[in-house]
Structure 1
């Protein structure tokens, strides 16, 4: 009886060990499968901005889209696409990539659009625009002007030129007082010479 009990315990122990060893690969396989399912989900999350970028050019192809090219300092260029009836979004092409930016309200009246995922900020005022990188805290492009803004700036410079030349011509014509007189004029109230004063007293 003691031997039978011992055999039973031994058989039970071996069965449990065999079950544990057999279930370990199964558990590992399940963990590997779960990890494989989680990995593509992360890749999809990173790919979402690319999908957003890919959808922006189709917006630019619509018939109601206004395309505006800007020339900036240091030879930089960018293009803004905007729907005629939508002033709350723009698509901005910068360095061969198109980004969708949303309008943000300002107290100054300047147009401000931003893309929080890429950190891009476009600020437009009547005379120029600038592109900023909020993540790196620096300017990407400044003094950006479209064709209309360049015409206005050129016209302003042309208007200043005649005024400057007229002012310089008037300055050249001004002659200092008394420069043309050969002899200086005497003041009538001036005191007569001492010799005349003595003769008058005699």
Structure 2
């Protein structure tokens, strides 16, 4: 009766060693009692190494794909035949937005001497929201002002951005309405 218990314990130790859960090395597994154990260990090592190679290939392919996507997205958008709107923001920041009448789903935004293409995102509030997910830029335009956000760093890049129309004092507009 002691012999089957020995075999069960030896088999359990081998299985734990093969899974890497036991501190005993795989070579300490009872190869004397189980001649096929060496084959099992070799197959497990081969699978691990082939999986590692496959995973490395997938990571490399993903990195190459991301690099291609980044270079495609890094190309500056075409701003010919666009309407240019300059915004003056607090802290001396400036933003220029290029809009195309034929394509209202995209804008080009110049920020810090770089031109970015942003894609329109629908909102329930009526605000104009445009995003560039690769760079994490978000432009939100409301009737009173515009805001540029960095979604990757979770911070504001520019606030209180106003174009010439938005910069007009509201008091004069209210007085003009009373005169009429």
What residue in structure 2 maps to residue 46 of structure 1? 67
Larger Rg: 1
Q: 2:126 aligns with which of 109, 116, 119?
A: 109
TM-score by length of 2: 0.58
Any gaps of 5 or more consecutive residues in structure 2? 1-52, 176-180
What residue in structure 2 maps to residue 135 of structure 1? 152
8 Å CA contact 1:132–1:139 kept in 2: the answer is yes
What residue in structure 2 maps to residue 4 of structure 1? none
Root mean square deviation, CA, Å = 2.6
Partners of 1:136 and 1:72 in 2: how far apart?
20
Partners of 2:92 and 2:101 in 1: how far apart?
28
Report Cα offsets for 1:11-68 as digits up to 9, x if no partner. xxxxxxxxxxxxxxxxxxxx9xxx8xx9698456325324323231xx11x22x1111
Q: Which has the higher helix share?
A: 1
Any gaps of 5 or more consecutive residues in structure 1? 1-30, 162-202
- 1:141 Cα deviation from its structure 2 partner: 0.3
Matches within 5 A, 1:118-157: 118-151=135-168, 154=169, 156-157=170-171
Matches within 5 A, 1:1-202: 42-43=63-64, 45-56=66-77, 59-60=78-79, 62-63=80-81, 65-151=82-168, 154=169, 156-158=170-172
Residues 160 and 55 (structure 1), Cα distance of their counterparts in 2 relative to 1, 3 Å cut: closer
**Residue correspondences, number:** 120
TM-score by length of 1: 0.52
Residues 66 and 97 (structure 1), Cα distance of their counterparts in 2 relative to 1, 3 Å cut: same
- 1:147 Cα deviation from its structure 2 partner: 1.0
Residues 135 and 41 (structure 1), Cα distance of their counterparts in 2 relative to 1, 3 Å cut: closer
